[in-house]
Structure 1
Amino acid sequence: MPESGNKQILIDALKACGAVKFGDFTLASGKKSSYYIDIKKASTDPKTLKIIAKGTTELIRDMNLDAVGGVVLGGVPLATAVSLESELPLVLIRKSAKGYGTGGLFVGDFEEGARIMLLEDVTTSGGSVKDAIVAIREAGAVVDSVLTVVDRESGAEESLGSIGVKLIPLVRASDLV
């Protein structure tokens, strides 16, 4: 977040809406954890989603982007809220192309060379967003940064860095737990 006060507002909102949970959890990566960050709780809470959208828009304002994107499902409400707040076009990325209708991997249009910022709810290893980055790059767009609401500080920054993508967290897990 651009200012420490704004960061604390987001931290407080994430805790207040029940997005930070403690117990025994298995993460998507298969790893065990004593805490879980449920950003879907945050993205379904209008007040918290608005804080995320405003904070993200402040961060990306001067990045010369053509669109914001989100991977289905977790990135959809985040990218939609940021699109509305920033007035940047929205691109949604499916995990696989659908076999009916117009098909395709993307919802929303972008031109070759378009600069797209991907939004993630929580990053752990960065593995789930890498597939989306590859797909967008293969379609001719540029993805050089991913903004995540919470980085679990478990290797995503290094993993994405290895493919030339900068990870920008609004908050880190160490800020929350």
Structure 2
Amino acid sequence: MLAKNIYETAHLTGSFKLRAGKESNDYFDKYLFESSPALLHEISEHLSKLVPAGTEVLAGLEMGGIPVATALSLKTGIPVAFVRKKAKEYGTCKLAEGIDVRGKNVCIIEDVVTTGGQILLSATDLRNAGANVVSVLCVIERESQGRDNIENDGLNFFSLFNMVELIESSSTGNVI
């Protein structure tokens, strides 16, 4: 049922350019499921079961990973850090806002993963900030290339759904 709800809420068709530069006729507008309190709550309920043991910080990536990480933090009680794409150039000049990540086992939280490019960049930035980045958890795994890239970097990768599961949940009426 959750997969079908995500699909019906966030799936768009048309012509879309993805972050990785590819064109696609299918697009999941993550902000549509992230802005629905009931759906985001249900997502955090299911994701909480996938958070690896020993995780000390949930690192939500700017911008879509932040609402998911916040909801997951509320569900699990694990502190959250908000990770920028680039350290701000004023004030504290931090890359990761919120709890200090130094010396902590960190699980990166993302909404949709296609190639994993931003995750890999942010993992490097977090490691440079002293974090022990060990895993990645996402809501939608769009392409297997993302999983391959992330796992090749030595990170454990967990996804709530892959794109095929979401599409099948809607077209066949199967409940996931």
**TM-score normalised by structure 1 residue count:** 0.89
Decide whether the 8 Å contact of 1:53 with 1:82 is kept in 2: yes
Decide whether the 8 Å contact of 1:156 with 1:167 is kept in 2: no
CA distance in 1, matches of 2:159, 2:55: 18
Identify the residue that residue 3 of structure 1 maps to in structure 2: none
**TM-score normalised by structure 2 residue count:** 0.90
Runs of 4+ in 1 over 3 A off after TM superposition: none
Decide whether the 8 Å contact of 1:122 with 1:148 is kept in 2: yes
1:165 aligns with 2:159: no
Length, aligned pairs only: 167
1:58 aligns with 2:49: yes
Q: Secondary structure at the match of 2:49?
A: helix
1:67 aligns with 2:21: no
Decide whether the 8 Å contact of 2:16 with 2:25 is kept in 1: yes
CA distance in 1, matches of 2:36, 2:110: 17
CA distance in 1, matches of 2:72, 2:48: 6
1:110 shift after superposition: 2.6
Q: Which amino acid aligns with 1:25?
A: F
In structure 1, the gaps of 5 or more residues are 1-8
1:154 shift after superposition: 4.1
Identify the residue that residue 125 of structure 1 maps to in structure 2: 115
Identify the residue that residue 5 of structure 1 maps to in structure 2: none
Percent identical across equivalent pairs? 33
- RMSD between superposed Cα atoms in Å: 1.3
Identify the residue that residue 172 of structure 2 maps to in structure 1: none
Q: Which amino acid aligns with 2:96?
A: F
The correspondence for 2:27, drawn from 24, 36, 52, is 36
1:111 shift after superposition: 5.0
Identify the residue that residue 108 of structure 1 maps to in structure 2: 98
CA distance in 2, matches of 1:15, 1:163: 30
In structure 2, the gaps of 5 or more residues are 168-176
1:80 aligns with 2:46: no
